[in-house]
Amino acid sequence: MALKARVLYDFHSENPGEISVRENELVTTGLLPASYVEIIRDHIASNAANNDTANNNGFSSPKSASHSSFASPDFHTSQGSDDDWDDDWDDTLPATQAKSTATVGRNLNRFSTFVKSGGEAFLLGEANALVRDGDMMCVVMGKHGPEWQEDPYPFTCTIDDPTKQTKFKGMKSYMSYGLTPSHTNVQVNRRYKHFDWLYARLVERFPVISVPHLPEKQATGRFEEDFISKRRKGLMWWMNHMTSHPVLARCDSWKLGKRKAERDELVGANFFLTINPPDVPLDLQDVESKVEGFKTFTKRMDENIIVVNTTINEFGRKQMIGFKKEYQKVGQSFKVLAQAFEMDQQAYSVGLNKAIAYTGEAYETIGEYFADQPRHDLDPISDLLDIYKGHLANYPDIIDVQKGALTKVKDCPQQESDLHERCNIISCATLAEIQHFHRTRVRDFRLQMQHHLQQQISFFQKITAKLEDALHRYDEQ
């Protein structure tokens, strides 16, 4: 349904695909940032619009928060039943509803992320939701610049092996994961679609926070062991990231029931209302240079991740095929030598013949070790690189919001101190998120490289033990 609207402010297109409009111009178009226009024909209630797009930075009236949680047993039942969850909306199907609010809305909207995310609306002072004390997020000035204040109630959440569940007398089956949050220690069951829903909520809610992508959907083989194990690991990493992020971990979407969470008003522009910056405002030039530096960093990391990923995948493939083959060929040739030697039928050569044949088998086993190894120490690195590739893909939008704010402020006179304060809030949030990215990255890559090296060491020790075993066969009998 096209709406007619009057443009309230000049808008200068800055990116390909954006349309410049002038104050008082009349426009007829499908998607527009609400803060730029005044709808003419009739009044679409913002509460209703809230259910249509993620980018309508809602004006619904505040509601009292429920105490049910994504990771608590009353997440479903707080709404009385599981009816909110469309059963066709399963983990192998595109999660249409969730996706449309998160990704599709963004893709079709031709306005810059600065506008779409609500960053501009906040900057222009149009965010006006009610924020309770408990919703406030502090950015503090740390040793290395602005950072999110640590969650005072940190928690973790384990994900157990999923079990296959059936519904409708076995007509429908799905995998159910046992989640146990450390602060309740009560296990609840969740499906992939619940994660997918949470992901969509978080993306919608936080303009300058990088919400990592969920492990990939897969249409076939979703009950196969390898896939299940890989997905569980992916969900565990995702969950760890969530619970260790000071902002994401405290997000109400975890606590609200489905309907309430979807009506949560502290999304987009209003998110910035919850941010409490350090006392001393940041130097704008310093912010600009830091964000520029990070942009260069992400570009380089993104490029180099591809190099590393290609190389280690190729290395894994070589070990699984080439290395295995070489060791097995050597093993077979030793066995062939033992076979020739067995023809002499001298009693004193039996020990040697057996030892050589055993050495042949040892080499064949070592070939198997090589083939089996990549999934222990290369695949996890590859998985991590994929996760970070997704992370990095989030940052252009985050940087866009921050740059949009900076650009806007540069055009404004210094006396507009409210504008400068709001720009400072966006800058603080962005730099805190960048800092969090680096801290998480250093932690994740340190752990992953340690894991890789530990696995490699075990691998070579296993080979050494096998060879020592073979060597003992040569002791004179």
- Using CB under 8 A, list all residues that contact a second copy: 144, 293-294, 296-297, 300-301, 303-305, 307-308, 311-312, 314-315, 318, 322-323, 326, 329-330, 332-334, 336-337, 339-341, 343-349, 352, 355-356, 359, 438-439, 441-442, 445-446, 449-450, 453-454, 456-457, 460-461, 463-464, 467-468, 470-471, 474
| List of residues 6+ apart from 285 with CB closer than 8 A | none
Q: Token pair of 265, please?
A: 């008003």
| 210/253 with CB nearer a second copy | 210
Vertex 471: Cα angle to 467 and 476 (nearest 5): 170
Give first-to-last CA distance, the chain, whole Å. Answer: 91
Q: Which residues pair with 180 in a beta bridge?
A: 158
Please say which residue, 31 or 305, places its beta carbon nearer to a second copy. 305
Q: What's the closest the beta carbon of residue 440 comes to a second copy, in angstroms?
A: 11
Measuring CA to CA, how many Å separate 450 from each of 27, 184, 376, 429, 443? Answer: 58, 31, 12, 31, 11
Nearer to a second copy, 84 or 326 (CB): 326
Residue nearer to a second copy on the CB measure, 183 or 473: 473
Q: What minimum distance in Å lies between the beta carbon of 386 and a second copy? A: 14
Q: How far is the CB of 446 from a second copy (least distance, A)?
A: 5
Q: Could you tell me if 270 and 127 are in contact, meaning their C-beta atoms sit under 8 angstroms apart?
A: yes
Cβ at position 22, least distance to a second copy in Å: 42
- DSSP code string of 188-230: EEE-HHHHHHHHHHHHHH-TT---PPPSPP-SS-TTSHHHHHH
Task: Kindly state the smallest distance separating residue 317's Cβ from a second copy, in Å.
Answer: 10
**DSSP-derived secondary structure letter, 187:** -
User: Which residue's entry shows tokens 């680096």?
Assistant: 438
Q: Which is nearer to a second copy, 62 or 322 (CB)?
A: 322
The letter for the amino acid at 17 is: G
For a second copy, the closer CB: 40 or 336: 336
Rg (CA), the chain: 29
Residue linked to tokens 């042949």:
360
The least distance separating a second copy from the CB of residue 428, rounded to whole angstroms, comes to 17
Least separation in angstroms between residue 339's CB and a second copy is 7
- Closest by CA position to 203, among listed 99, 53, 102, 100: 102
**Between residues 117 and 430, which has the closer beta carbon with respect to a second copy?**
430
d(CA 16, CA 294): 23
Shortest CB 145 distance to a second copy, Å: 9
Minimum separation from the CB atom of position 343 to a second copy (A): 5
The secondary structure of 72-110 as a DSSP string is: STHHHHTTTSSTTS-TTS-TTS--HHHHIIIIIHHHH--
DSSP code of 102?
Answer: I
What is the C-alpha to C-alpha distance for residues 92 and 191, in angstroms, rounded to an integer?
A: 11
- Complex with a second copy: residue 356 or 428, whichever CB lies closer: 356
Q: Say how far apart CA 269 and CA 118 lie, in whole Å.
A: 4
Cα 239 from Cα 157, distance rounded (Å): 7
Nearer to a second copy, 146 or 268 (CB): 146
d(CA 285, CA 305): 30
Measured from the CB atom, the residue of 57 and 359 that comes closer to a second copy is 359
Shortest spacing between CB 307 and a second copy, in angstroms: 5
Identity of the residue, 108 or 340, whose beta carbon is nearer to a second copy in the bound complex:
340
Query: Would you state the structure tokens that stand for residue 273, as one six-digit string?
Result: 């209302």
Contact (Cβ atoms closer than 8 angstroms) between residue 200 and residue 94: no
Q: How far is the CB of 334 from a second copy (least distance, A)?
A: 7
Closer CB to a second copy, 75 or 323, in the complex: 323
| Structure token pair of residue 64 | 């009292």
CB of 322 to a second copy, least distance (A): 7
CA distance 427 to 404: 11
Q: How far is it, in rounded angstroms, from Cα 130 to Cα 265? A: 9
